[in-house]
Amino acid sequence: MDKFAYGFDAAKVCETAIDWIREYFKNNAAENTKAVIGISGGKDSSVAAALCAKALGTDRVIGVFMPQGEQADIDCSRLLVNHLGIKHFEINIGSAAAALLENIEKSTELTPQAKINTPPRIRMATLYAVAACVEGGGRVVNTCNLSEDWVGYSTKFGDSAGDFSPMAYLTVTEILAIGEYLGLPNELVHKTPIDGLCGKTDEENLGFTYAELDTYIRGLTDLSDKPELKARIDRMNRLNKHKLEEMPKFKYYI
C-alpha cells in the first residue's frame, strides 16, 4: 500500500508549517526573537531547524549542541548547522548530569529511569537558559513528532517540552519526506536513531518499526493481522497520554 495513500503533500505541508512558525513568532515574540533548538544531528532536529530557518531567516535560529561527555556522532550536528548556515553553541552537560546524579545517589538509590531521563531534562533547562541569554530573547523549539508522542517515546519536561512544536502532528514517515523536500543531507534525514545509552536503535527499543506505527496511526492498517503488535502500541499510547495532556489541576472556587 502507498505510504501516502491519504494524500500527504510534503511541499504543501512544509510551506504551511513555515507560515505557521512565522505566525507564531509574529504573535508571541519581538522582531529579533530567536528560535533556540537543540541539535542532535538526527531527522527531527534537522527538519525543525530547517523549517525555522526558512520561516525566520538563518540569523534568527540558534542551534545548541549538548553532548554528555564525548558524543561519537557530533559531526552530524556540525554538518547540519553548516548546511543551514545558522549560529550554534556547544554546551557539554556531562559534568552537570554526573554531579546531579551523584548527589541524588547520596540520598536514594538511582533507578535506570532516573539515569535515562535526567540528562534530557538538563538539556531542556540548558535550552531555556540560552533562550534567556541571546539578544532579543528566544523561544525553544520542541522537536517531537506524532509517532514518538503516540507511544510516549520522549521525556516529560525533557525533549517533550518547548515553546512551540512545528512537527507534533507529523509522523516520522512524513518528516522524512519533508526533510527530503527541503534538500537536507541524506545522512541526517535517514540517520538511524539510537538512544545513545544501550547501543540499540529506537525501533529496537520500541519493538516495532516506525513504518508499522505510522501506517497504524494514519489508518492505513488496523494491524488485525498482528494482534500482539496492536495491543503493544495501544497500551503504550494509553499509558503515556499524561505526557501530552495538561497537568490535572484541583479546581477550587469561592
Q: What is the pLDDT of residues 17-45, one digit of tens each?
A: 999 999 999 999 999 999 999 999 999 99
Taking the alpha carbons at both ends of the chain, their separation in whole angstroms is: 58
Q: Name residue, grid cell 499524561.
A: 242
Residue 198 has pLDDT above 70, yes or no: no
Q: What is the pLDDT of residues 205-214, one digit of tens each?
A: 899 999 999 9
CA-CA distance, 173 to 230, in Å (whole number)?
Answer: 19
Q: What is the pLDDT of residues 107-154, one digit of tens each?
A: 999 999 999 999 999 999 999 999 999 999 999 999 999 999 999 999
CA-CA distance, 36 to 103, in Å (whole number)?
Answer: 30
Question: The pTM is what?
Answer: 0.94
Beta carbons within 10 angstroms of residue 149's beta carbon = 22
Per-domain boundaries in the chain: 10-243
Residue 47 has pLDDT above 80, yes or no: yes
Nearest to 189 by CA among 207, 199, 168, 174: 174
In the prediction, which pLDDT does 192 show? 86
Instruction: Give the lowest-confidence range in 168-172, 232-236, 246-250.
Output: 246-250
Q: What is the DSSP string of 83-129?
A: HHT-EEEE---HHHHHHHHHHHHTTSPPPHHHHHHHHHHHHHHHHHH
CA-CA distance, 19 to 15, in Å (whole number)?
Answer: 6
In the prediction, which pLDDT does 1 show? 44
In the prediction, which pLDDT does 199 show? 63
Residues 81, 39 contacting (CB under 8 angstroms): yes
Strand-pair partners of 90: 65
As its CATH architecture, domain 10-243 has 3-Layer(aba) Sandwich (3.40)
